[in-house]
Amino acid sequence: MSETRELTIADATHHLHCRHAIARSVTHYTMKCIPIGVMSDRRLKLLVFGERNWKGFDDKQSYRYVDMLRVSAIYEDHKGGVAYAQSKEK
């Protein structure tokens, strides 16, 4: 039997763009995630890390099914910084 390594936040390849609203107060934030698959209605199945935009919950994992437009890739730019690329698939 082969052992599989559990995925962690360090393995995240994408960001899920989120919005939390209470009355007139709105907070936009991103959560690190790993795409697991594409559903028949073109939603993505994601393994999402963390709890909203709270710090200290990086070990929490959950599965979410979201529209493709809410997910962008994380990639290294030529200067070594992190940049974002919005998915252009529809």
Give this prediction's pTM. Answer: 0.73
Which residue segment(s) compose the domain that 40 sits in? 9-75
Number of separate domains in the chain: 1
Please tell me the distance from the alpha carbon of residue 33 to that of residue 23, in angstroms, as a whole number.
Answer: 28
Q: Which comes out higher in pLDDT, residue 29 or 81? A: 29
68, 85, 86: which is closest to 76 by C-alpha?
85
Per-residue pLDDT at 90: 41
Q: Is residue 88 part of a domain?
A: no
Instruction: State the residue for tokens 């960001």.
Output: 15
pLDDT tens per residue, range 18-73: 999 999 999 999 999 999 999 999 899 999 998 887 777 778 899 999 999 999 99
Q: How far apart are CA 53 and CA 67, in angstroms?
A: 20
Residue 86 lies in a domain: no
- Let me know if residue 35 belongs to a domain: yes
**Domain annotation covers residue 65:** yes
Residue 24 buriedness (CB in 10 A; 0-12 / 13-18 / 19+): exposed
Residue 31 lies in a domain: yes
What pLDDT band is residue 5 in, cutting at 50, 70 and 90?
low
